Structure 1
């Protein structure tokens, strides 16, 4: 099976150059060494993790108008009696029994 040139390029590594202060580089090197990683592997792992966090924090999900209407209806509905919750809230905390 042959692969196209496009898929080979998508998987290939590309250079990323940056300027960094020596103190920051030394900090990264010390942390990478503790984990038994190279500076590159450490920086890639850390930056990839942070990028995923940022993107996940900004992710917006959508639902159909029907699902959203049901959600709003449940929020607006009067609270249901919950016997277990009522019992829990009326029971003294263990630290109050002393």
Structure 2
């Protein structure tokens, strides 16, 4: 990675303050940022109303409609 000198100096200063190498500092912080991005992309956050709605659907699922029944039959014939 090519880093402008001023930004590299700032990263090196931060790494030195944490008594670690530049490589370890950048890698550790990049991995933390990557985990945060992945977590945000993969997690579904519901507010209280949405949570209650989902729980109600799980406890009282609606009856399957015609399209769902056709899809289930279609899937069963593939196996």
Q: What is the TM-score normalised by the length of structure 1?
A: 0.46
User: CA shift at 1:70, angstroms?
Assistant: 3.8
1:30 to 13, 37, 45: 13
User: CA shift at 1:46, angstroms?
Assistant: 0.6
Distance of aligned partners of 1:60 and 1:71 in 2 relative to their CA distance in 1, 3 Å threshold = farther
User: CA shift at 1:68, angstroms?
Assistant: 6.1
Report the Cα distance in structure 2 between the residues aligned to 1:59 and 1:39, rounded to whole angstroms: 30
Higher helix proportion, which one? 2
Cα distance per residue 1:3-42 (max 9 Å; x no partner): xxxxxxxxxxxxxxx1110000000000000000000000
> Which of the two has higher C-alpha Rg?
1
Provide the alpha-carbon RMSD of the alignment: 2.8
Number of corresponding residues: 52
Report the Cα distance in structure 2 between the residues aligned to 1:59 and 1:71, rounded to whole angstroms: 24
Structure 1 residue runs without a partner (length 5+):
1-17, 73-98
Structure 2 residue runs without a partner (length 5+):
45-53, 61-79
